[in-house]
Structure 1
């Protein structure tokens, strides 16, 4: 019994989709996430061959499969060569070029890479750079991305510049997804189902109304619910802690003024200053 034409096309297409999937897995994740120009051309060609084979019913598929192996094998071999040799890597993938140095455009580098000044300015604006004089270095990577380093005086101030000690940043953990509790996220965040139930009751939110819920780096539950018209109460723990710290500091200063005991006065004043230092270092976090 002869296979209907439409069924033949479907079977060919399914086979080729699976075959292309195996080829891309063989070539590695880089093939999917960040294509070089060579890999991009090879990918387009593989797709074109597969499309021709899926509908060319009058043709034998075997020569097309051989061709796909060749087009997939060349980028694979080129990738192996690039891993083994720096010269081969520079030839196949290209290499980075400094296009701005000490606030001055390197015209020769731009000309070599066939970039115009307008194209460079466009890339700089994408990096929120509008004044070339603010740039210490700008490097055009082999894949066409532009990376910029500002001059020291133009860089954003960091806690290290202010000699502030900050705790390591913890990633948020998803604990609710589409109305279902994610036990792995709860475990990673160090929380329990009982804690989660209490937090939801504080906000008067039903579990099945939560689209996504996360525990932020400060250990607080942040939720996005299905009902966009419903106002979700914001957590008050940090503002309340800030108020408590300020009240404690004010009380200590009051005690220092009220007592006549010099040792007690010195102790109250010293601890009031410590609390003031804590408030200064953490107020920007506790006000959020």
Structure 2
């Protein structure tokens, strides 16, 4: 076998072997790496490169070395799931760098972290004043977790006493002009509804690159023809307008009727509808 073909076969088999082992180790290996996992990744890459290109070396010796470097961390990871002490030993622990707006210089030194590096990490999170930070911790993965002071945190609907609907995952009900039945069913819709919505928008399904149904059951589409303007969903604004019209009609009826019972009924209904509009008005305007 010629050298180039030999290298190609070794490289391909090593690639498949590493892929299988990486799947066994889990997704953590490609997300947040600890120091130990970082070293393992570098070593595995170096071993794979050597046994792929060094035709004079014994291929199976390299495979055995890779297996050792995979089995040891796999066993240790299994053990760390059951022991917090081992987790701290191998993965480390987070360290507080800022508390109550004050930098803890001793902890910075322990992590070999400079003030410039700390400020740089804060700037990546759009924070430019240390005094604005209530709490900041350097995680074992190297990420900096930051909590702003209460008065500087973003305003949420909870602060305003608003109750929002539970968000549901947006479903991709169309892809490349083809209806996706499973996501469509997950969104609680059928093909008849989807085709009817497309007809309202004035588009054909073959021209739809991507179609999504959001939490509120509204369909938005991205077309192959980028020059074609698609109207925005109008169901929620139309519903809000209808509710306000009903509210105005009830007030009008209460003013024009001479019947006391009917007048009281219209006024009560109008007040109840006003409360409903106040509660869901923000949602319908979104």
Interval of TM-score (by shorter of Structure 1 and Structure 2): over 0.9
Displacement of 1:162 in angstroms is: 2.4
Displacement of 1:245 in angstroms is: 1.1
Displacement of 1:94 in angstroms is: 0.8
Displacement of 1:189 in angstroms is: 0.7
Q: 1:119-130 counterparts in 2 under 5 A?
A: 119-130=117-128
Residue 113 of structure 1 aligns with which residue?
111
Q: 2:138 aligns with which of 109, 132, 140?
A: 140
Residue 201 of structure 2 aligns with which residue?
203
Residue 82 of structure 2 aligns with which residue?
84
Considering only aligned residues, what root-mean-square deviation do their CA atoms show, in Å?
1.6
Alpha-carbon displacement from aligned partner over 1:188-246 (angstroms, at most 9, x marks no partner)? 01100000100111111111211111110000111111111111111111111111111
Q: 1:1-288 counterparts in 2 under 5 A?
A: 3-288=1-286
Looking at structure 1, the residues matched to 31 and 139 of structure 2 have their Cα atoms a distance apart, in angstroms, of 16
Gaps of 5+ in 1: none
Moved over 6 A (4+): none
Alpha-carbon displacement from aligned partner over 1:98-117 (angstroms, at most 9, x marks no partner)? 11111222221111111112
Alpha-carbon displacement from aligned partner over 1:131-162 (angstroms, at most 9, x marks no partner)? 32232211211001111222222222333322
State which drifts further: 211-220 or 116-125: 116-125
Displacement of 1:261 in angstroms is: 2.7
- Aligned residue pairs total 286
Looking at structure 2, the residues matched to 131 and 280 of structure 1 have their Cα atoms a distance apart, in angstroms, of 38
TM-score (norm. length: structure 2)? 0.94
Looking at structure 1, the residues matched to 139 and 189 of structure 2 have their Cα atoms a distance apart, in angstroms, of 43
1:148 aligns to what SS in structure 2? strand
State which drifts further: 235-244 or 56-65: 56-65
Looking at structure 2, the residues matched to 138 and 34 of structure 1 have their Cα atoms a distance apart, in angstroms, of 18
Gaps of 5+ in 2: none
Change (3 A) 1:92 1:157: same
Displacement of 1:255 in angstroms is: 1.4
